[in-house]
Structure 1
Amino acid sequence: MTVVVVRPEPDCHQLVKQLHAHGLAATPCPLVSFLPGRDLTTLPRTLTALPSGSVLVAVSPRAVAFADHALQNAQQAWPTDCQYVAVGQRTASDWQTVCGQAVQYPAREDSEGMLALAPFTAVTGTQVVILRGESGREMMAKTLRDQGAQVHYCETYRRQWAVEPLVSQVVSWTKDTTDTVVITSGQQLAYFDQLITLSGQHWLRQCRILVPSKRIQDQATALDFDTITTVDSVANSALVNTLLRLSKTGLSDD
């Protein structure tokens, strides 16, 4: 098994390092880097104006990190009278460390999982602030607005896409019998697929791809990938465990 890891830094190289430690060949391919988002300057005022009982949502550890940096620069603490909801365990752990508040997270690490949590059982009139990148799924905000919540996005970071090193590496990947690709978001999957030239498409469709959710699995299926493994997590630990299991079973289907 030889793995291409398509995820942002620093997780990309951290995952590659962990795979190497387990004796698996892996190549990093970080397609995206991140810059501060346009709403960071107004975030301190936004949080100060929130009424007690409002809900703060973070869609990634990156959203938490950028938001916390902005609050530190403003010498402002996280609110103590809001409810905190994170998309997954790692985001919740990072957030709890910096905000000092209890952070809830679902077993299913996506919007559907978050919507099943207690803070969203009765949201009429509730203020909800979603910390995220410059774009993302609209399902959660739409569902909450339909239920009477007042939802506001806060763009804490924005993405900067890179063509290299993908274009220069894809030829060597096919020659090196790379057979597995880890892709941790739908946007990265679409971008990765677009950048692979026509001559590399046959190789790509022969690979198994690992994705973190049923939604991205459906996206991969629509792009005509046949061999897809859904991990139900973006955590490197979960990805490593899945890849180790697949390597021992000869990449057999789940």
Structure 2
Amino acid sequence: MPRPVVLTRPLAQAEPLAGRIRALGRQVEVLPLLAIAPLADPAPLRAGLSGLGAYQLVAFVSPNAIDAAFAHIDTWPEGLRAAVVGEGSRQALLAHGVPAGLIASPADPARSDTEHLLQALDLPALRGARVLIVRGESGRELMADAFRAAGADVTVLPAYRRSVPVLSAELAARLRALAAADAEWIITSSEALRGLVGLLQELNESTIVALLQHHHLIVPHSRIAETARELGFQHVTLTGSGDERVLAALQSRP
């Protein structure tokens, strides 16, 4: 019997992929390892997005950033370029009506991260340009630092909050059950994976930690794969960005 699949995406993005996995005949457990919440005060976000037409490039770090931003964007300015790090974000922009020809992303879907987005962009052309980065309240500074080093005028705009779930009695019971089931985990964020390890450490049960480290992880980015190995996970499949590649990885396993 196929092993259960644990989908750890934030709840809002989990169900479409969960439905496709169920259609393959697999049991799916939706276990969000990051909670995405609106900002306590959305006024700065609305104000920051009101002048989009003044920018030459808007970079979104995730589908969550896109969804949060487009709650306050009526029309995408004509000719405004966008940049994203993954296929999920590209699809989200397309769904919001941003023309495909205006969206820059990494050339290799297996290398969907900030480093490879920067390689895909013409950074010298950004000298003197105004660039907006839409992200969570915290995040890596690599993108902003690279744009500033290229001579761009960079604004970083927080659009949402991220948090790891609290270890409740219910969550502890689910983690124990999943550890015993030898599940396959779809992990789409290094932060979420570190959050999982933190929850396991809170349980203070070394047997569960050891069991989960032998489970199979399916990850879309090389940086997540590196994080997984650093944290002691031994069976990691790197798929590249996009749900189709995740589904193909699941179908290729017994």
Shorter-normalised TM range = 0.7 to 0.9
CA distance in 1, matches of 2:83, 2:32: 28
Task: Provide the C-alpha distance between the structure 2 equivalents of 1:97 and 1:7, rounded to a whole number of angstroms.
Answer: 19
Tell me, in whole angstroms, the C-alpha distance in 1 between the residues paired with 2:249 and 2:158. 32
1:171 corresponds to: 176
Task: Say whether 1:80 aligns with 2:85.
Answer: no
Equivalent residue pairs, number? 241
Cα distance in 1 for partners of 2:184, 2:192 equals: 15
Of 89, 92, 95, the residue aligned with 2:90 is 92
Task: Summarize the Cα distance change of 1:91–1:174 in structure 2 as closer, same or farther, 3 Å threshold.
Answer: closer
1:155 to 129, 150, 158: 158
Residue type of the alignment partner of 2:22 = H
Code of the aligned partner of 2:37: L
Q: Find the aligned partners of 2:119 and 2:22 in 1 and give their Cα distance.
A: 38
From 188, 193, 206, the equivalent of 1:189 is: 193
1:80 deviates by 2.4
Per the alignment, residue 31 of structure 1 pairs with 33
Structure 1 length as normaliser, TM-score?
A: 0.84
Partner residue in 2 for 1:250: none
Contact 2:164-2:192 at 8 Å conserved across structures: no
**3-state SS of paired residue (1:70):** coil
Say if 1:44 and 1:227 are closer, same or farther in 2 by CA, change over 3 A.
same
Report the AA paired with residue 191 of structure 1: G
| AA in 2 matched with 1:181 | W
CA-CA distance at 1:13 after TM superposition: 3.3
In structure 1, runs of 5+ residues without a counterpart are: 248-254
Would the alpha carbon gap of residues 10 and 97 (structure 1) be closer, same or farther in structure 2, given more than 3 Å must change? closer
Partner of 1:251: none
Q: CA deviation at 1:155?
A: 0.8
* Partner residue, 2:247: 240
Give the CA deviation at 1:226.
1.5
In structure 2, relative to structure 1, the CA distance for the partners of 1:220 and 1:209 (3 Å cut) is same
Paired AA for residue 249 in structure 2: T
Q: Give the letter for the 1:166 counterpart.
A: L
1:59 to 53, 58, 61: 61
**Bigger shift: residues 97-106 or 83-92:** 97-106
Deviation at 1:47, TM superposition (A): 4.3
State the match for 1:215 in structure 2.
223
The CA distance in 2 between the partners of 1:31 and 1:118, in whole Å, is 31
1:146 matched residue in structure 2: 149
Output the amino acid matched with 1:103.
Answer: I
CA gap of 1:36–1:190, structure 2 versus 1, over 3 A, is same
Structure 2 residues not aligned, in runs of 5+: none
> Paired residue for 2:125?
122
**1:225 maps to what in 2?**
233
Q: 1:245 to 1:173 in 2, by over 3 A?
A: same
Residue 78 of structure 1: how far off its partner (Å) = 2.8
